[in-house]
Amino acid sequence: MSIESIGGVGDVASTLGTLATGYGQGIADTDNLQMTGAVGGGSGTSYTGVVNPAAVSGVAGTGASTSVDGTSGTDFASLLAQGLGGGVDKLQGLQSTSDDLAVKAATGDLTNVHDYMIASNEAQLATQLTVAIRNKAVDAFNEIMRMQV
């Protein structure tokens, strides 16, 4: 039961990671849209004759691609992964160790009972740590989303 729940939480964490990737992309996209839209609007309203739209769009393109991708280019998911310091990989390692020992316990090949308990405890703790960090990161992300522009 505990293994399943641990695995479940791990899966949830990874899916949230992918969801976060989606959010990151979303931010980048909307930012891009807003930037290009604003610039396009600016070029559309006034300086039609003087400023050629190609140059403006070129500037907008570089500005959008470098700055926006630069800030959120390590987008939310990779930011989360950085914050965890490869924690997800370690978590998966701990969980697979725990699973291996669980199989050994079931098949009677387990020589040290405590090895499984330790492995499952470590996997549980690592999951809690990952989830805690993820929650903090999501909180920070939400805080940014509430920012008045």
Partner 1 sequence: MSIFDAIGIAGTGVTVNRKWMDAVSDNLANINTAVRTSDPAYEAKYVVAAEAADGKGTQVAGIVTGSAEGKLVYDPSNPLADEQGYVKYPDIDMSTQMTSLIMAQRAYQANLSVIDRSKEAYQAALQLGKA
CB of 90 to partner 1, least distance (A): 6
In the bound state with partner 1, the residue whose beta carbon lies nearer, of 39 and 91, is 91
CA distance 12 to 6: 10
Chain positions contacting partner 1, by CB under 8 A: 90, 94, 112, 114-115, 118, 121-122, 125-126, 128-129, 132
CB of 144 to partner 1, least distance (A): 19
Spell out a b/e string for 103-142, using b for 16 or more CB atoms within 10 Å of the CB, else e. eeeeeeeeeeeeebeebbebbbebbeebbebbeebbeebe
In the bound state with partner 1, the residue whose beta carbon lies nearer, of 69 and 122, is 122
CB of 146 to partner 1, least distance (A): 19
In the bound state with partner 1, the residue whose beta carbon lies nearer, of 114 and 146, is 114
Type of residue numbered 77 = A
Quick one: how many helices (H) and strands (E) in the chain? 6, 0
In the bound state with partner 1, the residue whose beta carbon lies nearer, of 34 and 112, is 112
CA distance 31 to 48: 24
CB of 7 to partner 1, least distance (A): 18
